[in-house]
Amino acid sequence: MKEQIHLPKCKGVLNKDDRPEVKASELNLFGDELISDVLAFQKSHPLYSNTPLIVLDQLAKRLNVESIQVKDKSHRFGLNAFKVMGGIYAVGKYLAEQLNKDINELSFAELKSDEVKQKVGEITFISATDGNHGRGIAWAARELGQHSIIYLPKGSTKARLEAIRNEGGHAEIKDMNYDATVKYSADLAKEKGYVIVQDTAWQGYEEIPLWIMQGYAAIAKEIADQTKEVPTHLVLQGGVGSFAAGIAAYYLKRYRNQAPKLIIVEPNLADCYYQSLNSPNQEIRPVTGEMNSIMAGLCCGEPNLTAYQLLKKYAYASFSCDDELAALGMRVLGQPLRGDESIISGESGAVPLGLLYHLMEDGNKDDLRALGLNQQSKILMISTEGDTDPEGYLDIVWKGHYPN
């Protein structure tokens, strides 16, 4: 029987009994040298500047842990979310492959040049998205002089649709859930000769999602370049799991058995990692139907296959959370204790902090011991988005929607 943790606003399962020695050779695609090259390409965009790593000393004292650090990815290329780190690398790498060149030899400016445009011709990139990934793809395609078509699932907000259109993408909301929208986009790509740039892998479609994961892993490299502190815990959001797997893979490769414990956080309405890791043989258990969580970015019912293999092996625990924890995280980050810096973090960005807060305030000793959370714990989180739904953000932070 797997060890379970039940609290009023979340349930968790520990995966630690299955945690093997870290096999570095399995993680060669996330080694420091390779990921440094990925980051070097991302940095070649003229708008690149490092995003802040914020230390919340007062909150750490209050929650009785040694440190809490939050990487604020809302500042990335002015897009209010981290996702473009994957999109820019995947689109760049695709164009480099078309030119038969190594991306290390190419800068963003070169890929944008008329000469390259003449060689590769007009390309339409297509993708399905909750909002953030699609905005990143639309931005990257436009920046590189190419086209994009982006589909959003049923229930997506107008603000997120408009944000994609503002980046030059042709964007529409479809009357189907996220996973069906992905399938629709993949089928259309085949029919029309578009290039699908999806942030999740399935059998036969693995290369571009790997580039996207490597693009995300560069965030871990940015953090490692900003601080010498090696965290004891990484608390990371799970949608399809590409993000968590990319970050975790970098840490595992770099620090091996000293790598931080990884805790995956999902909304309870789209908790495919929790359900799968909690099942007897840890087979993938997709979540289907409408997923109406406020954590729109995490409303994915099917894991990325590559990411799932990695996380099944190396994740320490997985949590399924109520929307109230995302709202709590948004308020705590936005309205910090005196002395701590305020972070504008959206629903999907703030849920790790909401979970940590709930665990430290309401978890019993056994729960915390099982997770290895104590006064020596050094927690690292990534606020993966800012207020990508600005009205929804104010409803929660100002008007107190989703109270605890």
Ligand X SMILES: Cc1ncc(COP(=O)(O)O)c(C=O)c1O
Distance between CA atoms of residues 285 and 100, nearest Å = 39
User: Which residue number, 143 or 347, has a Cβ lying nearer to ligand X?
Assistant: 347
Which DSSP symbol is given to 55? E
Positions annotated as catalytic residues are: 83, 130
Question: Interaction with ligand X in 334-353: which residues (CB under 6 A)?
Answer: 348-349
Tell the smallest beta-carbon distance from residue 205 to ligand X (Å): 15
Tell the smallest beta-carbon distance from residue 240 to ligand X (Å): 4
Tell the smallest beta-carbon distance from residue 359 to ligand X (Å): 19
Which of 85, 125, 124 is closest to 212 using CA atoms? 85
Contact between 297 and ligand X by CB under 6 A: the answer reads yes
User: Which residue number, 238 or 260, has a Cβ lying nearer to ligand X?
Assistant: 238
What residue has token string 């639309």?
Answer: 138
Which residue in 298, 327, 355, 379 binds ligand X (CB under 6 A)?
298
| Angle made by CA atoms 295, 331, 277, in degrees to the nearest 5 | 40
Distance between CA atoms of residues 16 and 103, nearest Å = 38
What residue has token string 């994740």?
Answer: 315
100 contacts 225 by C-beta, under 8 angstroms: no
Contact between 238 and ligand X by CB under 6 A: the answer reads yes
User: Which residue number, 141 or 244, has a Cβ lying nearer to ligand X?
Assistant: 244
Contact between 385 and ligand X by CB under 6 A: the answer reads yes
Question: Interaction with ligand X in 71-110: which residues (CB under 6 A)?
Answer: 81, 83
Tell the smallest beta-carbon distance from residue 107 to ligand X (Å): 26
Which of 380, 348, 105 is closest to 222 using CA atoms? 380
- Going by C-beta distance under 8 Å and a sequence separation of 6 or more, which residues neighbour residue 86? 133, 136, 199, 211, 212, 213, 215, 216, 242, 246
Strand pairing category for 67-72 and 170-173:
unpaired
Tell the smallest beta-carbon distance from residue 232 to ligand X (Å): 22
User: Which residue number, 130 or 324, has a Cβ lying nearer to ligand X?
Assistant: 130
Tell the smallest beta-carbon distance from residue 339 to ligand X (Å): 27
Which DSSP symbol is given to 226? H
Contact between 241 and ligand X by CB under 6 A: the answer reads yes
Contact between 327 and ligand X by CB under 6 A: the answer reads no
User: Which residue number, 39 or 381, has a Cβ lying nearer to ligand X?
Assistant: 381
User: Which residue number, 116 or 137, has a Cβ lying nearer to ligand X?
Assistant: 137
Q: Which residues of 263-280 are buried (b: 16+ CB within 10 A; e: fewer)?
A: bbbbbbbbbbbbbbbbee
Candidate ranges 89-97, 251-259, 292-300, 336-344; the one touching ligand X (CB under 6 A): 292-300
Give the footprint of ligand X on this chain (CB under 6 A): 81, 83, 130, 132-133, 199, 237-244, 297-298, 300, 348-349, 384-385
